[in-house]
Structure 1
């Protein structure tokens, strides 16, 4: 249990500032503690690892409600709604350290099981309902759309965005549209399989 929301906020903010200043890989828990004016033991009491801390920082930076609102403002088609959601996500990546954090976590996850578990639990499973729920609600309200697997759409979006982040590829409106269209097409093709 967190005793001080002020201290909690200071730690999250310090972690974000340090990623901007020195990158994810160079940011240590010691540096975050010093920047936040907190003890290292406090950080480890609240987050068991650096990865767990940065999963929460990412989650704090990338506002789920803002993503959902972007989708709903442009839901003339599923592709348009997802394109708008991805454009908003990419704005978060440009204006906050979220993209650098995610790319650092992905890079370390390949060789580190605890980081892989933190990433899977905190972001893959923890954030999947954002896209899955939006796609499912859209399909339910627009029965003429045919069968689309919301889970497959989400998996494709995650895979394509993460690939572009790791490869330092452009994340712009064109990329958002391409990813949305590919994900919906895969969801239609995979819509018959149970997940």
Structure 2
């Protein structure tokens, strides 16, 4: 029986990191749409076949780049971005996220992936599996932590989806408006929906 972990040659950790960093630099400089696998390969000093051996597509590569830039450690209360007042887990998480969007190309990558997903099934699958489903618990866990006692769990899942859609809309239409005050407004939805009967 085939072992999926050995079907692809083991990644060189140094090359792997170099490719992710090169991809982030390319998007930061040229934008998501204008960044090609060829450009990333040249920036990283590897052949494009190396990239395609490890990632089946540009969207798959950039889902991983996004996940590396916006990793769970940086979104934790001990992360590097200024926190909201104590006891505000949703606002704290969103403030950290928006700070990463301002200080890294993560926001540009996500906006590019969202735009490309509208027209490309491969990108849609990469975004769904790697970002929507793969990272859903990051925000949902904070929403459940902040929810009023006795709040309906299924409503909290709807709040999660509403907050994500509002962030994505603003990321595409007015990324400069992803501010701390917007993070606080979104966090208030948890109380509003949690108390709705």
Question: Under TM normalisation by the shorter chain, which class is it?
Answer: 0.7 to 0.9
Is 1:172–2:176 an aligned residue pair? no
Superposed displacement of residue 146, structure 1 = 2.6
Question: TM-score by structure 1 length?
Answer: 0.85
Deviation at 1:138, TM superposition (A): 4.9
Contact 1:14 1:35 in 2 (8 A): yes
**Is the CA contact (8 Å cut-off) linking 2:90 and 2:146 kept in structure 1?**
no
Find out whether 1:120 has 2:139 as its counterpart: no
Q: Which has the higher helix share?
A: 1
The separation in 1 between residues aligned to 2:163 and 2:188, in whole angstroms, is 10
Contact 1:70-1:88 at 8 Å conserved across structures = no
Given candidates 5, 16, 22, the residue that maps to 2:24 is 16
Q: Where does structure 1 differ by over 6 angstroms across 4 or more consecutive aligned residues? A: 70-73
Shift of 1:134: 2.9
1:66-81, aligned counterparts within 5 Å? 66-69=74-77, 74=85, 76=87, 80-81=88-89
- 1:31 & 1:11 partners in 2: Cα distance? 11
Runs of at least 5 residues in structure 2 that lack an aligned partner in the other structure = 1-7
1:85 aligns with: 93
Contact 1:11 1:33 in 2 (8 A): yes
Asked whether the equivalents of residues 67 and 85 of structure 1 are also in contact (C-alpha less than 8 Å), the reply is yes
TM-score by length of 2: 0.84
Cα distance in 2, alignment partners of residues 85 and 157 from structure 1: 12
